[in-house]
Amino acid sequence: MTSHRNIDTIRAEFPLLATNPELAYLDNAAGTQKPEAVLKAMDAFYRTSYANVHRSVYDLSERATAQYEDARGRVAHFLNAQPQEIIFTKNATEAINLVAYSFGEENVHEGDEVLVSILEHHANFLPWQRLCAQKKARLVVAPVRADGTLDEEQMLALISARTKIVALTALSNVTGTRTPLARIIERVHQQGARVIIDGAQAVAHEHVDIRAMGADFFVFSGHKVFGPTGIGVLAARAELLETMQPFIVGGEMVKTVSLDNTEWNDIPWKFEAGTPPIAEAIGLKTAIDFIESIGWPHLHAHEQTLVEYALERVRALKGVHLIGPETYSSDRAPIISFTVDGVHPHDLASILNERHVAIRSGHFCAQPFLNALSYTAAARASFTIYNTHAEVDALIEGIAAAQKIFRV
């Protein structure tokens, strides 16, 4: 059920923003703030329902297990998957590493290729780099155009009979541009390969249907989508999960253990060794409820006006250079990265911090991408449903103040 709450009402639902009205929090690509509903849901679980899950027959444990599995079902519905296809991890990084180990180790061999794009966050680059080094396979990296967008035709041309895995972001954490996935995924499957989509940025800005998308594996983190830290999701085709070995072994991911043999549990539990992030799963469920209560059309409309306004104002500043496309289009999320002549990104971020504007500075865990565009560091502002035009103005005023301080 959606509602048409105004921005002031929405901001009031976030305790940190409500108690710090002077703060312009523009680092949402790294992690969003948490609504009161998420905090209350986790607190209520610990106060009224806490017990370990899947281990006991007493009422409290069964209630906790029911809440945990209800969260799994909610995530499955959110992505158009089946509950047994949802594995809870600690973040998207762990989910990608799970796939690299449990699927990659068995399916990538010497002489094979793993294809990634230069756009990737280190989390979707390093596991494949290491896998290829270990297996004597080849890591193939698809380039971007001069404007920082993926060259789809070149990516398609790099998919061959040697390709076993294609790892691709759905949305760049540097430029905010969406990756054209449909033709790429179709070509991957034509070659008999598998595709993993890093959806860490996408899930906060668009409805994701992994069935329609055609992804074999899809990952995201709770902390980027109004949920808690310490929880991520791997959504994968059940038939693939059935064939994969566990990534981590230990308690509760087995059916039987003897001195000579072990029988793994069914999916998804064979991939969830030890005590899982129970309260975090409940928090993630509530975060999804929050997003859907806002409604995707309302979210999109608000984010569109913000990023259009931000791009317009940044373009008007002399000596400020946008990374990626400089104008708004429908395939762009509200993430903008830029540099300022004569001002290091860390210095800019420090000056903005003094003015209560929080941005990211550095390489955003995307060094190969920035290096490909001849940058070593940049500044990034990223927006979401609770940000305002006044906060964009505060960002612009802070950039101008930094230029004045550095006399540029």
Parallel, antiparallel, or unpaired: how do β-strands 360-362 and 320-323 relate? unpaired
Burial 333-372 (b: 16+ CB within 10 A, else e): bbbbbbbbeebbbebbbebbeeeebbbbbbbbbbebbbee
Catalytic residue among 156, 249, 254, 365: 365
Euclidean distance between CA atoms 257 and 259, whole angstroms: 7
The CA-CA-CA angle for residues 170, 381, 235, to 5°, reads 25
Cα torsion at 337, 208, 100, 74 (round to 10°)?
120
Q: Which of 401, 389, 385 is nearest to 308 (CA)?
A: 389
Is 365 one of the catalytic residues? yes
**Which residue is listed with tokens 């991957």?**
188
Do 382 and 334 touch, CB atoms closer than 8 A?
Answer: yes
Q: Both tokens of residue 58? A: 């007493």
Euclidean distance between CA atoms 357 and 373, whole angstroms: 26
Cβ neighbours of residue 373 closer than 8 Å, sequence gap 6 or more: 144, 148, 323
**Which residue is listed with tokens 């940025």?**
201
Is residue 255 helix, strand or coil? Answer: strand
The residues that are catalytic are 365
